[in-house]
Amino acid sequence: MDLNYQIGLFSTERHMQKGRSTVRHPESVSKLTLLAIITVSTIGILWIPVIMPHITHPNMIYHISLHTLSVIIALFLSVVSILAYRRNNNSLRLLFMSLGFCLLAGIEFLYLFHATVNIPDIIIPIVDVELSHAILLIMLTLFGIGVLKVNRSE
């Protein structure tokens, strides 16, 4: 009996057609289960330091909920894109997209902590630009490269 089957991490195998050869990949946790795990983990980690102190502020809790939801979505997209990158023979396009989603998760954490902890804007002194804007520009650049990159093998 296969070790992965015994552990329960991989329940079935899925066949993917790539060119003329068949590539077999074990089917991992479903995306819905992955989203549930990320949601519970993120809310569990952020509950006491971020959410709980502002739970009684009616206007602030909506703002925090919006940023928390954005963090959850960004983390989910990061994990899914990294798994897709690893599954698709390390495609350079997926690498750029994965890095873009990771930066999106980072910037959403920065916005969440900016909204709740009242940290001041972090300014890059040489160019007098906020760090969040620089990260957004890098993120958009990575998404653009990932979308516009032409694979020579296709």
Candidates 45, 95, 99, 94; CA nearest to 72 is 45
Q: What are the residue boundaries of the structural domains of the chain, listed by start?
A: 29-148
pLDDT at 115: 85
> What tens digit of pLDDT does each residue of 30-51 get?
999 999 999 999 999 999 888 8
pLDDT tens per residue, range 82-104: 999 999 888 889 999 999 999 99
Residues 101 and 127: their CA atoms lie apart, in Å, by: 25
pLDDT of the residue at 28: 63
Query: Hey, which residues does 16 pair with through a beta bridge?
Result: 23
Spatial CB neighbours of 142, under 8 Å, sequence gap ≥ 6: 96, 97, 99, 100, 103
127 compared with 118, residue with greater pLDDT:
127
Rounded to whole angstroms, the Cα distance separating 69 from 144 reads 24
The mean predicted confidence, pLDDT, of the chain is 82
Instruction: Answer yes or no: is pLDDT of 20 > 90.
Output: no
pLDDT tens track for 51-73: 888 888 888 888 899 999 999 99
pLDDT of residue 151: 67
